[in-house]
Amino acid sequence: MDLIHKLEPLALLLLIVVALNWAIDAVFGTNLVNEVLSSNTAEDVLYIAAGIGALMATAMKYRGFAGAVIDASVRDTPQIRKLQFPVFSRGVAPSTTINHYRVTGVNVPVTCAGIRVNPGDIITADEDGVAVVPIARAADVLKKSQELDDTEHRMLPFIEKFRSIREAVKQFGRI
C-alpha cells in the first residue's frame, strides 16, 4: 500500500473505497470532457493528471463516478463543494483547463504525486488523505487495516481512563 501525501480533499466528504477504473494520463492539448466522460460504470473513480472545474465534476457526479483524484489543481471550488462530489487534488487554481490538455492514455499505469497507480488498484480516500492498494494485496491490506482499526478503537477508552499513552502502548503493543 502506498500513501499519497501531496493530495488534499477539496471538502470533507464521504469515504471513497473503490477500484480505480479510469486512469487518464494527460498532456497539454485538447479538451478532456468528451473523451473522459463518454463511458463509465457506476462507482468508478477517476484519476486524472489535469485540473478540473465544476463542469467536469458535475458531469462525473451525474455519470455515477464515486470521486476524482486529481494530480493537479481544481477550480470552481464553491460549486464542487455544493455538489458533495469527492475530489482530492494538489490545490486550487483560478485558471480553466478547457483546451489545455489532451488524453494520452486511458486505463494505463500512471504516477500520481510520485506513486505508481495501476488500473484496478483500490483507491481509498478521506479527510486524512489518499491511499493506493494494489489489487493483488487488497485482502492482506484489508485484514491489517481492520486489525489496526480495532486496536486503536480499544486504545482510545484506555487512554481516556488511564491518561497514559505509555500504559496504552504497554497494554496494546503499539501507538
Q: Residue 2 in contact with residue 112, Cβ under 8 Å?
A: no
**Domain count within the chain:** 2
- 125 and 161: one domain? no
- 66 and 146: one domain? no
H or E element that contains 82: helix 77-83
Angle CA(58)–CA(64)–CA(70) in degrees, nearest 5? Answer: 60
Lowest pLDDT segment from 100-104, 119-123, 147-151, 165-169: 100-104
- 110 and 142: one domain? no
Quickly state the pLDDT bin for 5 (edges 50, 70, 90).
Answer: low
Mark residue 99 as left, alpha or beta (left: phi above 0; alpha: psi -120 to 50; beta: remaining).
Answer: left
Residue 159 structural domain: 138-172
Give the single-character DSSP code of 52: B
CATH code, 82: 3.50.30.40
- 52 and 94: one domain? yes
- 28 and 74: one domain? yes
- 69 and 10: one domain? yes
- 50 and 12: one domain? yes
- 63 and 148: one domain? no
Could you tell me the three cell numbers for 14?
464521504
- 36 and 52: one domain? yes
- 22 and 103: one domain? yes
pLDDT digits (tens, 9 = 90+) for 23-79: 555 544 445 555 556 555 555 666 666 678 898 889 888 888 878 888 778 889 999
pLDDT digits (tens, 9 = 90+) for 74-130: 889 999 999 988 888 888 888 776 666 666 666 777 777 788 888 788 888 877 888
